[in-house]
A and B are shown apart, each in its own frame.
Chain A
Amino acid sequence: MHNSVIDIEHLNLYYGKQHILKDINISIPAKKITVILGPSGCGKTTLLRSLNRLTELDASVKMSGKIFLNGQDLLSSKEDVTTIRKKMGLLAQRPYPLPMSIYNNVAYGLRISGRRKKKFLNNRVEYYLRQTNLWEEVKDRLKEPAATLSIGQQQRLCLARGLAVDPQIILADEPTSALDPHSSRMIEEKFAELKSNYTIVLVTHILRQARNIADHVIFMYMGQVVEQADARDFFDNPQEQQTKAYLQGQFY
């Protein structure tokens, strides 16, 4: 089967008394785009956030189970949580540029890991801005605050900033939901390019997007994984009744 990067076994997550994720067992293949699909409120964002342990910022969240990254369990890991987070770049629903210049947004992750040589930083910033097709648009205004960019540009900047820490995995939580169609397509095309080097986990509720770029699909409903399969099998030959209903647009 797949050469998987992330394997989740019996993951349960409670928020207070609410049971949000129920016995999740999935594996995410390397250097492919895995789409987590499902109606809103089904727990897909929570599942994504549990991968880089952002969920534990909330004291009322309790987790059990195992999340293996390259065979190492993240939840019982003695490793520093910042090291784990550096292995995954996060793209949120809306772009949240850091309150600093365009340049510093990309250089931020490098600086906090101790890379301070001006020449190195310049080189990396240009490289990642080129990777996200931003360089030509912003090369003359690198010192300006990132908030002056358009929303679409901001989201690409957030992608560049995430790539700059050299992650192995890109986590994207409905990254196009705040974007115009043009910018959305740009992000989607970028993902299709990036998958040759990165493993991408994309949360979405947009069927069209999932059909376009997914290699592997995990379908969730009410905190449970209903079905997971290769994209072609999933869309052409769904096994579960709920999946069929969802694909026919019977619920959202």
Chain B
Amino acid sequence: MNWLKIFYSRKLRNRIHLSWMWISLGIVFILPMSLFIGLMWKSAILLNQQSIFDLLFSSEWKPMAGKFGYLTFIVSSVWVTMIALLIAGPVCLLTAIHLTQYAKSWVLKIMAPIIDILAGLPSVIFGVWGILFVIPLLANHIGPFFGKSVSGYSILAGAIVLSIMIIPFILNILIEIFQTVPKELSEASLSLGATRWQTIKFVLLKKSSAGIVSAFGLGMSRAFGETIAVLMVVGNVVHLPSGVFQPGYPLPSLIANNYGEMLSIPMYDSALMFSALLLFVIVLIFNAISRLIILRSSH
């Protein structure tokens, strides 16, 4: 009888632990779903009144008149994110290659905590750094260099601050990816008479191509949603930007600046919810694309 008792109690315990796991899994699964449904529901009021085409492709933003065109915000977000990625991309790739392939091991040992600190800094600090350093740099040096008189608060300022913020994030992933490529694989290439650089190009980068794509995909999602640091330097002017020295107004800033303030205006609440929905969907699309690329290259 004794063994029977143990059997059942063990089975019971298994059940209990299993149910905990199911609940946790459920939370992880349900949370984004409910978020999405909630946002849809809240922005339905706006969507019923205006066509989605007008919302996305008009830059007329007059909440008092009930006109909500998101083009300014979408364009600002895309510009800031893309330029940030353009700056961060080469820096991350070259740094990761150097740290994992060329540098002596103590260099990585020193750099790893520095990268972690950079990744963990509160974003408001990057915002302050942007105001104190990047803005004057743009206003006094880079702007005049291109023959422009600018305030400094601009798409470019937002992108520079953002790039510094996503560099440690992407760099950490890249270093990890490059370290998982077996040393023997590089040695195989070297023994065939390849130079170090040829080995990096044809073996290391090729082997980790899917990982590189996903690292940049994750960095992009992060950059797209980053709010406070960008908000502090980007200018926040509702005007379709026509150049990188012009101020912009990205989607997260729109929400952060306005939510809870002008809710007496009809539909404003719903309009902000729609911008949140836009952010959600765009990040989702980024994720889907990078996943697709990973899937395709792993076959």
Residue of B nearest to A161 (CB): B192
Residue of A nearest to B106 (CB): A59
Task: List 20 A-B pairs, Cβ < 8 Å.
Answer: A52-B191, A57-B190, A59-B104, A82-B190, A86-B193, A88-B191, A89-B191, A90-B191, A92-B188, A94-B184, A96-B182, A96-B188, A98-B189, A98-B206, A99-B206, A100-B206, A108-B189, A108-B202, A113-B193, A158-B188
Within 8 A of B (CB), among A41-85: 52, 54, 57, 59, 82-83, 85
* Residues in A whose Cβ lies below 8 Å from that of B194: 82, 108-109, 112
* Residues in B whose Cβ lies below 8 Å from that of A161: 188, 192
Instruction: Taking A85-B190, A88-B191, A99-B203 as given, write out 11 further A-B residue pairs in contact, using a Cβ cutoff of 8 Å, ordered by the A residue number.
Output: A52-B191, A59-B105, A89-B191, A89-B192, A92-B188, A96-B188, A98-B189, A98-B206, A100-B206, A112-B194, A113-B193
Whole-angstrom CA separation of A92 from B188 in the bound complex:
8
The answer to whether A85 touches B184, judged by C-beta atoms less than 8 angstroms apart, is no
Whole-angstrom CA separation of A79 from B182 in the bound complex:
28
* Residues in A whose Cβ lies below 8 Å from that of B203: 98-99
Interface string of B185-223 (1 = CB under 8 A from A): 101111111110010001100110000000000000000
A residues with a Cβ closer than 8 A to B are 52, 54, 57, 59, 82-83, 85-86, 88-90, 92, 94, 96, 98-100, 108-109, 112-113, 158, 161-162, 165, 171
The answer to whether A92 touches B192, judged by C-beta atoms less than 8 angstroms apart, is no
Q: Given A99-B206, A112-B198, do A83 and B182 touch, yes or no (CB 8 Å)?
A: no
* Residues in B whose Cβ lies below 8 Å from that of A82: 190, 193-195
Whole-angstrom CA separation of A162 from B198 in the bound complex:
17
The answer to whether A98 touches B185, judged by C-beta atoms less than 8 angstroms apart, is yes
Whole-angstrom CA separation of A109 from B198 in the bound complex:
11
Give the size range of B's interface with the partner.
10 to 19
Residue of A nearest to B189 (CB): A98
Main secondary structure of the interface of B (DSSP, over half): helix
Q: How far is the CB of B254 from chain A (nearest CB, A)?
A: 44
The answer to whether B192 touches A85, judged by C-beta atoms less than 8 angstroms apart, is yes
Shortest beta-carbon contacts, A-B, top 7: A86-B193, A90-B191, A109-B192, A99-B207, A82-B193, A96-B185, A96-B188
* Residues in A whose Cβ lies below 8 Å from that of B202: 98, 100, 108, 112
* Residues in B whose Cβ lies below 8 Å from that of A112: 192-195, 198, 202
Whole-angstrom CA separation of A59 from B203 in the bound complex:
21
* Residues in A whose Cβ lies below 8 Å from that of B192: 85-86, 89, 108-109, 112, 161-162, 165
Q: How far is the CB of B193 from chain A (nearest CB, A)?
A: 4
The answer to whether B191 touches A162, judged by C-beta atoms less than 8 angstroms apart, is yes
Whole-angstrom CA separation of A158 from B207 in the bound complex:
17
* Residues in B whose Cβ lies below 8 Å from that of A100: 202, 206
* Residues in B whose Cβ lies below 8 Å from that of A162: 191-192
Determine which residue in A54, A83, A89, A112 has the highest number of CB atoms from chain B within 10 A of its CB, and name it: A112
Q: How far is the CB of B258 from chain A (nearest CB, A)?
A: 49
Q: A165 touches which one: B182, B185, B193, B198 (CB < 8 A)?
A: B193
Q: How far is the CB of A118 from chain B (nearest CB, A)?
A: 18
The answer to whether A92 touches B184, judged by C-beta atoms less than 8 angstroms apart, is yes
Whole-angstrom CA separation of A109 from B207 in the bound complex:
17
Residue of B nearest to A164 (CB): B192
Residue of A nearest to B203 (CB): A98
The answer to whether B193 touches A85, judged by C-beta atoms less than 8 angstroms apart, is yes
Whole-angstrom CA separation of A170 from B192 in the bound complex:
11
Whole-angstrom CA separation of A88 from B187 in the bound complex:
13
Whole-angstrom CA separation of A85 from B192 in the bound complex:
6
* Residues in A whose Cβ lies below 8 Å from that of B198: 112
Residue of B nearest to A89 (CB): B191
Within 8 A of A (CB), among B161-203: 182, 184-185, 187-195, 198, 202-203
Q: B188 touches which one: A57, A88, A90 (CB < 8 A)?
A: A90
* Residues in B whose Cβ lies below 8 Å from that of A96: 182, 184-185, 187-188
